């Protein structure tokens, strides 16, 4: 900028400013750039040849196969320890959609968002299509050859050194195969692994019952529900069943249930709750003990005296570390006593 405003005013519209003095016009520039981009694209396509595919009609069309009409097959979908009945829709032999089986007690015609998305696993380009050995693709023939070399040593050691890792299964056929392996190789180690597993829940239930059990709730019979860090309407493996049973008690024409949710984050169950308490995950255990101690004092539950001292100590810690916990617990206990 210059301090002389007269110069600025005089230079604002110079003669010939709207005329193209460059011999290269805008049209010519776009023409050259368009041709360059087209040639660049062609150079990248010269080495790519798509395989030749042909479309042939059925010489003898299978029964119940009509173009554009889905064929449904009843099957099951295993997620961890739970199995859900499903109906798989196929078009010309290709699976396209999963729906719940209305005759199955677990799904009753509905599926969760994760179960519906399971159809994409069939078309996952990264899905394993062959055995893997040391990080490289192998073949079943190579596996059979290696297995035959291992057999003599495994028989002598009763399977010592053999480790089998699998996903959690609920298939009786899978369990029978495992029993056969254990009978043949008693020293073999067979274990399961899941990226998202409820190991803490299973261990806690085992310590409480001394049995390996899986909880199954009947929410359609509950008048008061207290959930602590459990999104049973969202990510639980039985969320479809629980959602249906929970909704059965939310009819305005009948007595409704009441849901209390204690959680550190946001969840579907928390969004459905009548009363939601935001609490750190590290304090959820103290909240539980404070609730149990209040139920003991109200004579709602009976706990062996050997455990009451530890529960009372944890409840006292909850009173110190969780603001307003006494009022919240008192409201829950009163609601439970009212519906006994």
Give the pLDDT of residue 1. Answer: 47
Q: What average pLDDT does the structure give for the chain? A: 84
pLDDT, greater one: 61 or 247: 247
pLDDT digits (tens, 9 = 90+) for 35-55: 777 766 655 555 567 788 888
In CATH, the number for domain 213-338 is 3.40.228.10
Report the share of the chain in percent with pLDDT over 70. Answer: 89
The predicted-structure confidence for 254-272, as pLDDT tens digits, reads as follows: 888 999 999 999 999 999 9
pLDDT in tens, 145-179: 998 998 899 889 998 989 999 888 878 888 899 99
CATH number of 71-123: 2.20.25
Integer Cα distance of 9 and 40 in angstroms:
47
At 123, list the tokens: 């078309």
Beta pairing class for 224-228 and 258-263? parallel
What Rg value do the Cα atoms of the chain yield, rounded? 33
Closest C-alpha among 335, 260, 320 to residue 290: 320
* Cα 192 from Cα 80, distance rounded (Å): 10
- Enumerate the domain spans of the chain: 71-123, 132-192, 213-338
**pLDDT at residue 10 above 70?**
no
Q: Is the pLDDT of residue 329 over 80?
A: yes
On the question of pLDDT at 25 being above 80, the answer is: no
DSSP per-residue string spanning 40-71: HHHHHHTT--PPP------SSPPTT--TT--E
**Cβ count near 247 (within 10 Å):** 14
Q: What is the pLDDT of residue 251?
A: 84
């Amino acid at each position: 900028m210059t301090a002389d405003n007269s110069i600025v005013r005089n230079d604002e519209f110079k003669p010939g400013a709207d005329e193209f003095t460059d011999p290269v016009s805008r049209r010519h520039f776009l023409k050259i750039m368009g041709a360059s981009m087209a040639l660049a694209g062609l150079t990248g396509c010269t080495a790519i040849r798509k395989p030749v595919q042909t479309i042939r009609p059925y010489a003898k069309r299978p029964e119940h196969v009509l173009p554009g009409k889905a064929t449904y097959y009843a099957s099951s979908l295993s997620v961890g320890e739970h199995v859900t009945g499903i109906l798989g829709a196929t078009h010309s032999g290709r699976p396209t959609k999963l729906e719940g089986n209305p005759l199955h007690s677990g799904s009753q015609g509905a599926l969760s968002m994760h179960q519906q998305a399971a159809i994409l696993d069939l078309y996952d380009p990264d899905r394993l299509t062959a055995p893997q050995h040391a990080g490289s693709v192998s073949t079943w023939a190579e596996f059979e050859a290696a297995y035959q070399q291992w057999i003599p040593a495994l028989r002598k050691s009763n399977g010592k050194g053999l480790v089998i890792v699998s996903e959690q299964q609920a298939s009786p056929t899978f369990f029978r195969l495992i029993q056969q392996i254990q009978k043949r190789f008693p020293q073999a180690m067979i274990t399961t692994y899941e990226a998202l597993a409820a190991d803490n829940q299973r261990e806690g239930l085992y310590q409480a019952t001394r049995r390996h059990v899986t909880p199954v709730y009947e929410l359609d019979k509950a008048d008061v529900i207290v959930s602590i860090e459990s999104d049973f309407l969202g990510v639980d493996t039985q969320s479809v069943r629980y959602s249906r049973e929970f909704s059965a008690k939310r009819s305005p024409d009948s007595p409704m249930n009441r849901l209390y949710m204690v959680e550190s984050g946001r969840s579907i169950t928390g969004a459905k709750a009548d009363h939601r308490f935001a609490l750190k995950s590290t304090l959820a255990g103290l909240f539980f003990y404070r609730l149990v101690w209040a139920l003991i004092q109200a004579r709602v539950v009976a706990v062996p005296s050997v455990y009451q001292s530890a529960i009372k100590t944890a409840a006292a810690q909850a009173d110190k570390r969780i603001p307003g916990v006494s009022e919240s617990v008192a409201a829950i206990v009163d609601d439970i006593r009212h519906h006994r």
